[in-house]
C-alpha cells in the first residue's frame, strides 16, 4: 500500500551548543497517526531532537516540514498553534494554579480561543483520568500526576503530533501501565506520537516503529524487533 504523505519530516537536522555537537544529520518522516518510539543512551540527542521539532530553538542545520509547510524557523508558539505539542522531560506546570487552570491555559493558548477552552480542558483531563484532581493545586501533585498533567496540557493544545519526552521515567510498573493506556487513547484519536522512553517494553505497547539514537545520530529506524537486534544498537548500549 502507498504510504500517506508524512505529517512531520526532518531533513539533515543538526544542532551545536557552542563546541558541543548534540545532534547530527537526523532525517525522519512521521506518518499521520503513526506512533514511533525513540531510545538511546543518555546524551544521545533525543531531547534535542524533540525540542528542535517543537520549535524550541533553531536547528544549526537542516529543515523541518509539518503538513507540507516549512516550519524550521517558525518558533515554539507558532509550531504549537499549527499542531505540534511537546511535553517537557521535567514537568513544568504553574504550581500555584489548579490542575484544571493549568490545562485551561494550554487549551486557550493552543486553539480555538477562550470560549472553547473550558470544554477542551475538561476533555483533556478526562482522557488523562485527572478529573478527580481538577481542583487540586499543581504543587501538591505526586510524580505520576505531574506527568499526566504534562500530557494533558500538551493534549489540550489540540495537536496532530504529540512529542513525549520520558513521561514514564521514574514511574512504578502499575503507573507506567496507566500511562500507556492514556497514550494509547491519544493515539486512538488519530494523533501521531513520538515518544522517548528508556523502558522499551513500555514503549512498544504503543509504538509500532522504533528509532535508536547514539552520539547525536539516528543509528537505527524501523521494525522494533530488528532495531533491538541491530549490532550498532547493542553496541551503543554496551559502550556507555
Q: Which of 4, 5, 12, 17 binds ligand ADP (CB under 6 A)?
A: 17
Q: Phi and psi dihedrals of 100, rounded to 5? A: -60, -45
Q: How many CA atoms lie within 13 A of 42 on its CB side?
A: 3
Total residues at the site for Mg ion (CB under 5 A)?
A: 1
Q: State the Cα torsion 167-170-175-176 to the nearest 10°.
A: 50
Q: Residue 42, class by beta-carbon neighbours within 10 Å (0-12 exposed, 13-18 middle, 19+ buried)? A: exposed
Over its C-alpha atoms, the chain yields an Rg (Å, rounded) of: 17
Q: Residue 44 or residue 233: which is nearer to ligand ADP going by CB?
A: 44
Least distance to ligand ADP from the beta carbon of 131, Å? 32
Total residues at the site for ligand ADP (CB under 6 A)?
A: 11
Could you tell me the CA-to-CA distances from 230 to 8, 222, 225 in Å, in that order? Answer: 25, 11, 9
How far apart, in whole angstroms, are the C-alpha atoms of residue 133 and residue 110?
A: 22
Least distance to ligand ADP from the beta carbon of 117, Å? 31
Could you tell me the CA-to-CA distances from 9 to 4, 157, 170, 182 in Å, in that order? Answer: 12, 21, 30, 25
Q: Which of 1, 2, 19, 20 binds ligand ADP (CB under 6 A)?
A: 20
Could you tell me the CA-to-CA distances from 89 to 128, 176, 228 in Å, in that order? Answer: 18, 15, 23
**Residues 34-53 contacting ligand ADP, CB under 6 A:** 40, 42-48
Q: Residue 47 or residue 87: which is nearer to Mg ion going by CB?
A: 47
How far apart, in whole angstroms, are the C-alpha atoms of residue 30 and residue 48?
A: 17
Q: Residue 110 or residue 216: which is nearer to ligand ADP going by CB?
A: 216
Q: Which of 34, 37, 38, 47 binds Mg ion (CB under 5 A)?
A: 47
When asked if residue 22 is in the footprint of ligand ADP (CB under 6 A), the reply is yes
Least distance to ligand ADP from the beta carbon of 80, Å? 20
Q: Residue 44 or residue 71: which is nearer to ligand ADP going by CB?
A: 44
When asked if residue 237 is in the footprint of ligand ADP (CB under 6 A), the reply is no
Q: Which residues bind ligand ADP (CB under 6 A)?
A: 17, 20, 22, 40, 42-48
Q: Which residues bind Mg ion (CB under 5 A)?
A: 47
Amino acid at each position: 500500500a502507498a504510504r500517506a504523505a508524512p505529517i512531520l519530516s526532518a531533513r539533515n537536522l543538526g544542532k551545536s551548543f557552542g563546541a558541543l555537537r548534540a545532534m547530527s544529520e537526523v532525517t525522519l518522516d512521521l506518518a499521520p497517526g503513526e506512533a514511533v518510539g525513540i531510545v538511546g543512551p543518555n546524551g544521545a540527542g533525543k531531547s534535542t531532537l524533540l525540542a528542535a521539532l517543537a520549535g524550541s530553538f533553531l536547528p544549526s542545520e537542516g529543515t523541518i516540514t509539518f503538513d507540507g509547510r516549512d516550519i524550521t524557523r517558525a518558533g515554539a508558539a507558532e509550531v504549537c498553534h499549527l499542531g505540534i505539542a511537546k511535553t517537557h522531560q521535567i514537568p513544568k506546570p504553574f504550581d500555584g494554579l489548579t490542575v484544571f487552570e493549568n490545562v485551561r491555559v494550554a487549551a486557550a493558548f493552543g486553539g480555538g480561543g477562550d470560549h472553547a477552552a473550558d470544554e477542551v480542558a475538561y476533555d483533556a483531563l478526562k482522557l488523562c483520568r485527572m478529573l478527580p484532581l481538577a481542583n487540586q493545586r499543581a504543587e501538591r501533585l505526586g510524580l505520576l500526576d505531574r506527568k499526566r498533567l504534562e500530557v494533558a496540557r500538551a493534549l489540550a493544545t489540540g495537536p496532530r503530533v504529540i512529542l513525549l519526552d520520558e513521561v514514564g521515567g521514574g514511574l512504578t510498573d502499575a503507573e507506567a501501565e496507566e500511562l500507556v493506556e492514556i497514550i494509547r487513547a491519544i493515539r486512538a484519536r488519530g494523533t501521531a506520537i513520538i515518544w522517548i522512553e528508556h523502558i522499551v517494553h513500555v514503549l512498544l505497547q504503543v509504538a509500532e516503529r522504533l528509532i535508536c539514537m547514539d552520539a547525536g545520530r539516528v543509528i537505527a529506524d524501523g521494525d522494533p524487533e530488528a532495531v533491538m537486534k541491530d549490532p550498532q544498537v547493542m553496541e551503543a548500549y554496551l559502550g556507555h
